[in-house]
Structure formats: structure tokens, C-alpha cells
């Protein structure tokens, strides 16, 4: 039986990875800030099915202690200060948790067992002001937010530890990926949740920022599979994980309201006060390397993702009534 440590195990990506690896027969250790609180936050399907252990992204000695205790074969790092609307909030904390903390994990691996395989959930925000579209592993990095800059630092340190110390460490350069487990601070979930409320007569309008902003959106369940495949390869490497298709927030709204037989124009209001300080250039990923070497392609399309999320939100809201 392999053992895996998953940081951020209660979040979207962490919970999907925990579910996937538990089904594959792994011993799954969820590394979390507060064990008691996290027990309540786990999806029902994972409750009492994985082990939780205290973890602090700013405490390297605790990391070393946990690795010594559990001796994992693999580590997936999903613990991070939120992206979405929070990319400019508290830049110093973002820099520490999303950047420097990854070096702490790499150091802990180097000290305890250099054979531990490590995957970092990186971000398309590395590219920021992209020089080309679509972006691939060879595209020049140019982050435009504290979040993107912190992720770039982590990405750079992974390459340094891989080359200098021989660690099996990888960066998954993830484009936006969604699911019913997405937080409400992200535009996709905000839209699907509000559409469900409007359909149920619990809300009347949906206020959003720039409707022309475009993103490359995929399904979180597909993307965690790609990351697992990365750690099964004979050689560590970095991969862009993306759908390769960009959609605007306007398209998101149109599809979401169509799913419940409504017209988005009757409900959506654009609010210039919530536009991001800087809007990313066209971020759309070229995942051809992942397709070639990992035999990975996304299985669930954007319209289907939105439908799944709305149906889940309708059920969630009806249960609360």
C-alpha cells in the first residue's frame, strides 16, 4: 500500500485527489491546519475514510516531523492562499504561503527522504501578461499579480531542487478548473450558485465584473488525474494542464442560465467596481505535452461542467430550505 500526503485536503483539488487515491488503495493522509475543523469540512464521501494530521505551511520542523512519521511515497501540495478575487489580497502572506512554503516542503523532503515524489499545484497565472497564446511549457513567464509571482517562485525552486538535489519534483501548471466543490469566491461557482438561487426564487439579480474576461476552464476531477499521472512517470517534469479552449464570463452566464431555461440578459448586471486591478491577457493552455507523454486529455467539457455545478447547487439549496 502506498502512502500519500495531500495538503489542503478539504479543498476542491485536495478532496478530489484524496477520493481518487483512496479508491486506488492508497493510505491517504490529509495535511490540514486544524484537524477538528477539517473533519467537518470534508465532503461526505471522505468522512472517516482518510486520516488527518496537523500541518502548517510556515512551520518547516512540523513538516519534517510529519514526513518522518508517515513516510509518504507521494506528496501533492494544494494548500495555498486563494486565487480568484483574492490574488491581490495581502501580498506578503501570499508570498509566504504560496511561494516560500513550497521550499519548506522541498527541504523537508530532502532531509527526510529524497525518494518522496512531489507535485506542486501551480497556475496559469505564471504567464500573466502572456507573450503568446496558447501558452505551453516553453512560454516566457510574466506574472501580473502577487499570486502569480509567488507561484513562479515556487515553480523556480522546484526546478532548482530537481536539478541540484535530484528530487522527483514536478509543477502542474493548472489552468482554471471547476466543480461543485469550488469555493463561492470563484466566478464559476458564484454564477452557478446564484443561478440556482434565481431559479428557486431566492434571488433576483447576479452582479459580476468584466463579462468579456476569458478563461480556459476544465473539470477538477480530470486535472487531479493528470497530476497523479505526473508522479507515475519515470522522470520528473512540468506540464501544462488545460482544456485548450477559452470561454468568456458572458458565455459562462449564457450557458448557466440556459441550463435552467432562463435568459442571462434578464438577470446579469456588470459592475465596474469589482473589475480586477489588472486583467490577465488571453490565458489558454496548450496541453499537447501532457497528451503525448501522460496520455491525458480532459474528458468533461465546459457546458457539462456548468450543468453539473448548477444541479449540485440546486440540490444543496433545496436541502437547506
Of 195, 238, 241, 193, the closest CA to residue 216 belongs to: 241
Q: Determine which one of 19, 125, 178, 254 is catalytic.
A: 125
In angstroms, what CA-CA distances link 157 with 15, 170, 317?
26, 10, 43
Q: Name the pairing type of β-strands 214-216 and 246-248.
A: antiparallel
DSSP class of residue 99?
I
Q: Is 82 a catalytic residue?
A: no
Q: Name the pairing type of β-strands 117-123 and 206-208.
A: unpaired
Count the neighbouring beta carbons within 10 Å of the beta carbon of residue 304.
12
Q: Determine which one of 26, 147, 161, 264 is catalytic.
A: 147
What lies within 8 Å, CB to CB, of 169 at 6+ separation is 106, 109, 117, 118, 119, 120, 158, 161, 162, 236
Q: Where are the alpha helices (DSSP H) in the chain?
A: 12-23, 35-41, 60-70, 91-94, 101-112, 146-165, 187-199, 220-231, 249-259, 288-293, 302-320
Q: Is 125 a catalytic residue?
A: yes
Cα gap 147→311, rounded to integer Å: 31
Q: Determine which one of 38, 83, 122, 123 is catalytic.
A: 123
Enumerate the active-site residues.
123, 125, 147
Amino acid at each position: 500500500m502506498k502512502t500519500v500526503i495531500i495538503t489542503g485536503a478539504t479543498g476542491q483539488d485536495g478532496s478530489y485527489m484524496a477520493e481518487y487515491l483512496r479508491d486506488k488503495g492508497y493510505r491517504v493522509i490529509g495535511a490540514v491546519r486544524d484537524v477538528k475543523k477539517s473533519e467537518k469540512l470534508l465532503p461526505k464521501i471522505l468522512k472517516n475514510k482518510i486520516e488527518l494530521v496537523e500541518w502548517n505551511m510556515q512551520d518547516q520542523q512540523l513538516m519534517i516531523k510529519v514526513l518522518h512519521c508517515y513516510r509518504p511515497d507521494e506528496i501533492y501540495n494544494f494548500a495555498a492562499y486563494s486565487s480568484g478575487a483574492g490574488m491581490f489580497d495581502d501580498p506578503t502572506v501570499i508570498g509566504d504561503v504560496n511561494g516560500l512554503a513550497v521550499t519548506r516542503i522541498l527541504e523537508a523532503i530532502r532531509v527526510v527522504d529524497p525518494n518522496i515524489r512531489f507535485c506542486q499545484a501551480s497556475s496559469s497565472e505564471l504567464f500573466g501578461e502572456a507573450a503568446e497564446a496558447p501558452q505551453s511549457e516553453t512560454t516566457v513567464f510574466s506574472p501580473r499579480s502577487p499570486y502569480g509571482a509567488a507561484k513562479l517562485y515556487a515553480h523556480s525552486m522546484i526546478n532548482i531542487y530537481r536539478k541540484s538535489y535530484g528530487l522527483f519534483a514536478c509543477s502542474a501548471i493548472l489552468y482554471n478548473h471547476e466543480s461543485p466543490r469550488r469555493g463561492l469566491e470563484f466566478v464559476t461557482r458564484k454564477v452557478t450558485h446564484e443561478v440556482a438561487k434565481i431559479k428557486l426564487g431566492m434571488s433576483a439579480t447576479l452582479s459580476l465584473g468584466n463579462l468579456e474576461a476569458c478563461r480556459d476552464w476544465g473539470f477538477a476531477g480530470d486535472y487531479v488525474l493528470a497530476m497523479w499521472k505526473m508522479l507515475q512517470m519515470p522522470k520528473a517534469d512540468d506540464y501544462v494542464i488545460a482544456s485548450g479552449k477559452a470561454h468568456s464570463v458572458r458565455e459562462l452566464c449564457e450557458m448557466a442560465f440556459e441550463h435552467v431555461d432562463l435568459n442571462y440578459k434578464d438577470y446579469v448586471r456588470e459592475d465596474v467596481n469589482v473589475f480586477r486591478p489588472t486583467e490577465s491577457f488571453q490565458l489558454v493552455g496548450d496541453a499537447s505535452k501532457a497528451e503525448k507523454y501522460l496520455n491525458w486529455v480532459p474528458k468533461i467539457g465546459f457546458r457539462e461542467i456548468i450543468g453539473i455545478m448548477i444541479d449540485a447547487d440546486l440540490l444543496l439549496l433545496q436541502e437547506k430550505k
